[in-house]
Amino acid sequence: MSHVALLIPLLPLLGFLVMLGFGSSLKEPSYGWIATAAVGSSFVATVVAFFLLLSDANRSITVNLFTWVSTGSLNVHAALLVDPLSITMCLFVTGISALIHLYSIGYMHGERDFNKFFIYLNLFVFSMLVLVLSNNLLLTFVGWEGVGVCSYWLVSYYFEKDSAASAGKKAFIYNRVGDVGLLLAMFLIFHATHSLTYTVIFQHLHDFTPTTATLTVLALLLAATGKSAQIPLFNWLPDAMEGPTPVSALIHAATMVTAGVYLLVRMSPVLALSSSGRWTIGIVGGVTAFVAATIATSQKDIKKVLAFSTVSQIGYMVLAVGAGAYSAAIFLMVCHAFFKALLFLGSGSVIHSLNGEQDLRKMGALKKYLPLTFPTFMIGWLAISGIPPFAGFWSKGDVLTNVYEYSKPLWILGLITAVLTAYYMSRLFVLTFRGQERFRDVTHGHDPHESPWIMTTPLVILAVASVLGGVLDLPWVHHDSIAEFISHSVAPVQGLTSASATAQFGLAAVDVVAAIIGILTAFTLWKTTSPWPTKYESTFLEHVWRWDDFYDTTIGRPAQEIAAFGADVVEPKILDGAVTGVAVATRRSGEGLRKVQSGFVRQYALVLVAGMAVLVVFLTSRSW
Amino acid sequence: MHNVWWINSLLLVPLLGAVAVVATRRVPRAAYGIGVATASLELVIAAVVTLLYSWHNTVSASCGAKVCTGFSLLTTEDFAHRWVLAPSFGLAYDVAIDGLSLFLVLLTAIVVLLALLGARESKHEAAFVGWLLVLMTATMGSFVSSDLLEFFLFFELTLIPSYFLIAHWGGKERSKAALKFFVYTLFGSGFLFVGLIYLAFSYQHAHGGDLTFSYLVLQHAAISHSAAVWVFVAFAIAFGVKSPIFPLHTWSPLAYAEAPIAGSMVLSALLAKLGTYGLLRYGVFLLPQAVHTLQPYLLTLAVIGILYGSALAAMSKDMKRLVAYSSMAQVGFIILGVMSGSSIAITGAVLLMFNHGVITAGFFLLIGFIEKRRGTSEVTSLAGLQRPAPVLAALFTVVMLASIGLPGLSGFVSEYLVLIGTFSTHTWWAVVATLGVVLAALYLLWAYQRIFHGRAEGENAEMPDLSHRERWIIAPLIVLILFIGVYPKPVLDRISPTVNHHVLILQQNTVTK
């Protein structure tokens, strides 16, 4: 019961409650410091819990809190499961959250709802930690929905702007569609095993029929596509960029959107039961990675490029899960959290220096004005492009090597995506930092200025992590690696072969070539920007493969027409029409009723009494 | 078994309060004071009853003044007071509380008190308070009755005060709304009356002895399957109007929209529960042999109610109508659970009755606060209210998220239990109903966006936020929403034994058939 792990989620909750209690009575930065302190101490608690876990022989600690929902055969506890998977998640979630909280103190300076921002942010971290630390699916769902609603609030943070309000709503509703998947998965699992606790479910795997197992995996996949922005539910994420940039970095890049991948990895023993289910997961991941990368090549908003890049990178993680390479998925998740948070915060610093401008066409040549943002951003760019020795090279390489063994077509798709990734990130880099200055309009002729230390410090720390992240799982170190650590939490897929050392070096070389091709192409094509080289952008890609339009025509509008038909025809004319007909007939038959309604009721009372009297007489006569 | 005066005072207190209001009607402001005092006392009693309730009770062969039929009855009833007034007519005062009624009793006390505090009507105040207290007595009586005839009388008695509340204190179309409500419900009651008379007589015919309408006794009525089905159908019509179940709902949007806020609160939070509660106690648990036959039809109507209610909620231009249709969708979930035959889902449905009452009362209180300031509840005339009224917006958000079924808030626990339980017994209905989870988010967030998001201009920008008094009035509902969402155990522990007890009988019936 008493375990330091308890503090991990409770500290951010405490921060949330304290700030809520203060309302808006404190001065601006106090909220930021309270929130940062809460998350920072949660990180410290996580580190302590991590070392306690290392000294635990089973590598699994359950902390039981209280009985939450219990009726009949359903018995769910509020309990935490501390194991290698959850503690890995906690480490990077709390660590990166603390940095982004710190950054936000600078970035959100002067905002009207400064206190509300940090209140939501701490509640988000609490929910995220509940999600990953829960020992059962239902409590995971609490966190799952909690992060969803915080995302809703933070995306529509500028709620007076219609686009922000709509984006928040869209994010929530797309997530809800995914949630149906998680609900159905829980129902299927409970029906089969009579439990929702992970360890108990995994002990009763033989209770799954092959059909149930496949349906469960597909339902889990639906859940993951919602939360982790995968096809067919990926198009809420670009809209979510309406939120403040730290939110995009924290929720829509580093943490929340990886929850779907976490769920799939957590349920790996069930995934092992259905190869067709895993095959579907692999295809969804691979195709999403590719589609999102193509879209990213034609976006003009710096945050939208990064948003589609996130979708694409998570596609890689999902692809890895499909291939059964769970540790590779988590490895990429951690490294991606480092470099994508870095890139988003870097872009935030850029936006900050340009008075809020996000259009790549209004940037360029910022290299010399942003002495700290530029080199850190460059590290992020090289990392995501897959240039050694940065973190992205190792982690993406790990995924692609495993996929190569699993399926050659998916590997080719992954490799093409790698080229595209290097291309769109280099395009972004060139357009932002190199070439001609195009920003004088938005800065009113002034020079852009570098952000304060409170914003650049997190950039530096994340840049260091993006350089060194690869050591978590270097291919020639097989003990003490993240793969070995995670293996305590996941069920290996039987019959997977691992690549030989020669093949690994060969594939790594291929990855580097792919990255260089992408980078060189971008540097060549985007050398000059006046006039703007529109021929390298496609409107089809810019409009996200017309995905929103497609949903609008096939689902949105028909549904609206059906609802309108219900409201305009079925309800008033058919259902109510019949009733009104009867009512009118009744009213006409009794003249006085229309004028004096109370008379009507009096009559009713009379009828009631008379009826009772008749009944009494009837009963009395019977009993004689 | 606890002292019977707890339960008797639940009925006497509001009745005496109503009498006192009538007696002092000439004294200015006395009525309101008496009303609040009465409702507060009632809430204290209801709270004590909720805490004291114990579910291990046996009614042995010596069943007091009740018609003794010779067998010992195992029951989860507590506080029972049985007093036969006229044995040959079957007229009895027979009251008790079990896991089904316990929280509805508490809900009645809470909602009436908050309606008085938060939705006070200054026009003809004494009459308003008086009718509300009469309605409280009748609703309480319906929930604590353990006798079909007595239940019927209380059930009918709710009609008169609700009629007057709508007709006198309602909006523009109040006469039409009141009449429609009245005729509709009366139509349903006819079926209820015929059904219960038939049931009592067939029991007497088979077992001899005095006529009895006792719920405990009639559970053992060995009527034929087809007769049970017909009686069940008759009950389902009566309770279906009250709940309302699709397609018997068309009175409700008009009545909810036209009634004064206090009326809408009582109608949606309490009277609707009379329908769902009646269907569970007097349908499913009293006539278990009919359940299996009627399950597919009623489950289908429940699912249609969820989808249809959600669609019409999305199209509603008025907040009260929106809540009316949203209620209809929620009632769909309740009916789904009630008819599922799964003890988990039925427990969820009973909890949802309470939760929905709290949530919908919260909605109407908040809409009332907005209406008081802006003179309208039209969605199109409101915009951007979150800026001028952040507290109102925050509280509305909590109630809305509870209604959507966000985990950590009360609505989720009950909805989840309904769905997971129904999934095991009637998979496909549960799957379709799960889609309702998306729809609730759709229409509520859309409405929220139109009302609270965007830029506030003109009168909207000037709208004052909630006063401290208003915050305190809504606070108990928010506390309940949070408490049950985080720690539903004490509530589920009180509901489950009764449900499990009855579901066991239900299952035996299905097996023997």
Per residue in B120-149, pLDDT tens?
888 888 899 999 999 999 999 999 999 999
Task: Provide ipTM, 2 decimals.
Answer: 0.92
Q: Which of B421, B437, B489 sits opposite A180 (nearest CB)?
A: B437
Give the pTM: 0.92
Burial classification of residue B67, based on how many CB atoms lie within 10 Å of its CB (0-12 exposed, 13-18 middle, 19 or more buried)? middle
Average pLDDT on B256-274 reads 93
Average pLDDT on A611-618 reads 58
A614, pLDDT greater than 70 = no
Q: Please judge whether A564 and B315 are an interchain contact, meaning their C-beta atoms are less than 8 angstroms apart.
A: yes
Please provide the average confidence, as pLDDT, over all residues in chain A. Answer: 88
Q: How confident is the model at residue B344 (pLDDT cuts 50, 70, 90)?
A: very high
Look at residue A596 in the predicted model and tell me its pLDDT: 44
List CB contacts (< 8 A) between A179 and chain B.
437-438
Q: Which of A152, A575, A605 sits opposite B160 (nearest CB)?
A: A605
Look at residue B480 in the predicted model and tell me its pLDDT: 96
Q: How confident is the model at residue A389 (pLDDT cuts 50, 70, 90)?
A: confident
Look at residue A1 in the predicted model and tell me its pLDDT: 44
Average pLDDT on B181-202 reads 88
Q: Which of A141, A165, A191 sits opposite B424 (nearest CB)?
A: A191
Q: Please judge whether A579 and B435 are an interchain contact, meaning their C-beta atoms are less than 8 angstroms apart.
A: no
Question: In this predicted model, what pLDDT tens digit does every residue of B366-420 receive, in sequence order?
Answer: 999 999 999 888 888 898 899 999 999 999 999 999 999 999 999 999 999 999 9
The 3-state DSSP class for residue A356 equals coil
Determine what percent of chain A is predicted with pLDDT higher than 90.
Answer: 60
Alpha carbons B124 and B122: distance in angstroms, whole number:
6
Look at residue A479 in the predicted model and tell me its pLDDT: 66
> In terms of residue numbers, what domain contains B51?
2-512
A580, pLDDT greater than 60 = yes
Q: How confident is the model at residue A577 (pLDDT cuts 50, 70, 90)?
A: confident
Average pLDDT on A272-280 reads 93
What angle, rounded to 10 degrees, do the helices at A408-433 and A391-406 form? Answer: 160
Look at residue B297 in the predicted model and tell me its pLDDT: 95
Question: In this predicted model, what pLDDT tens digit does every residue of A133-175 receive, in sequence order?
Answer: 999 999 999 999 999 999 999 999 999 999 999 999 999 999 9
A338, pLDDT greater than 90 = yes
Enumerate long-range contacts of A199-208, CB under 8 Å, 24 or more apart: A199/A60, A199/A62, A199/A81, A199/A135, A201/A137, A201/A269, A201/A270, A202/A269, A202/A270, A202/A491, A205/A269, A205/A270, A205/A273, A208/A270, A208/A273
Look at residue B57 in the predicted model and tell me its pLDDT: 61
Average pLDDT on A63-71 reads 90
List CB contacts (< 8 A) between A160 and chain B.
384, 387, 453-455
Compute the nearest-CA separation of A532 from chain B (Å). Answer: 35
Average pLDDT on B334-362 reads 95
Q: Which of A169, A587, A601 sits opposite B446 (nearest CB)?
A: A169
Q: How confident is the model at residue A539 (pLDDT cuts 50, 70, 90)?
A: confident
Look at residue B70 in the predicted model and tell me its pLDDT: 44
A345, pLDDT greater than 50 = yes
Q: Please judge whether B163 and A601 are an interchain contact, meaning their C-beta atoms are less than 8 angstroms apart.
A: yes
A619, pLDDT greater than 70 = no
Q: How confident is the model at residue B433 (pLDDT cuts 50, 70, 90)?
A: very high
Pick B27 or B278 by higher pLDDT: B278
The 3-state DSSP class for residue B343 equals helix
Q: How confident is the model at residue A606 (pLDDT cuts 50, 70, 90)?
A: low
B66, pLDDT greater than 80 = no
Look at residue A240 in the predicted model and tell me its pLDDT: 92
What angle, rounded to 10 degrees, do the helices at A162-193 and B410-425 form? Answer: 40
Average pLDDT on A568-592 reads 71
- The answer to whether the beta carbons of residues B429 and B299 sit under 8 Å apart is yes
Compute the nearest-CA separation of B329 from chain A (Å). Answer: 14
Alpha carbons A116 and A113: distance in angstroms, whole number:
5
Q: Please judge whether A146 and B251 are an interchain contact, meaning their C-beta atoms are less than 8 angstroms apart.
A: no
Least confident of A1-5, A70-74, A84-88, A195-199: A1-5
Look at residue A375 in the predicted model and tell me its pLDDT: 93
Q: How confident is the model at residue B5 (pLDDT cuts 50, 70, 90)?
A: confident
A550, pLDDT greater than 50 = yes
Q: How many independent structural domains does chain B possess? A: 1
> Which residue reads 């991990």 in tokens?
A8
- Measured between CA atoms, the residue of chain A closest to residue B178 is A597
Q: How confident is the model at residue A513 (pLDDT cuts 50, 70, 90)?
A: very high
A594, pLDDT greater than 70 = no
Please provide the average confidence, as pLDDT, over all residues in chain B. Answer: 89
Inter-chain contacts counted by CB atoms under 8 A, chains A and B: 165
Q: Which of B314, B442, B454 sits opposite A162 (nearest CB)?
A: B454
A552, pLDDT greater than 90 = no
Listed residue (B467, B447, B173) closest to B317, CA to CA: B447
Average pLDDT on A69-78 reads 90
Determine what percent of chain A is predicted with pLDDT higher than 70.
Answer: 91
Tell me, rounded to whole angstroms, the distance of Cα A559 from its chain centroid. Answer: 27
The 3-state DSSP class for residue A298 equals coil
B62, pLDDT greater than 50 = no
List CB contacts (< 8 A) between A149 and chain B.
401, 406
Q: Please judge whether B186 and A571 are an interchain contact, meaning their C-beta atoms are less than 8 angstroms apart.
A: no
A515, pLDDT greater than 80 = yes
Look at residue B64 in the predicted model and tell me its pLDDT: 42
Alpha carbons B305 and A571: distance in angstroms, whole number:
12
List CB contacts (< 8 A) between A188 and chain B.
423
**Which residues, 6+ apart, have CB-to-CB distance to A587 below 8 Å?**
A593, A594, B179
Q: How confident is the model at residue A476 (pLDDT cuts 50, 70, 90)?
A: low
Q: How confident is the model at residue A586 (pLDDT cuts 50, 70, 90)?
A: low
Look at residue B65 in the predicted model and tell me its pLDDT: 40
Average pLDDT on B166-188 reads 87
Element (H, E) at B57: strand B57-59
- The answer to whether the beta carbons of residues B245 and B331 sit under 8 Å apart is yes
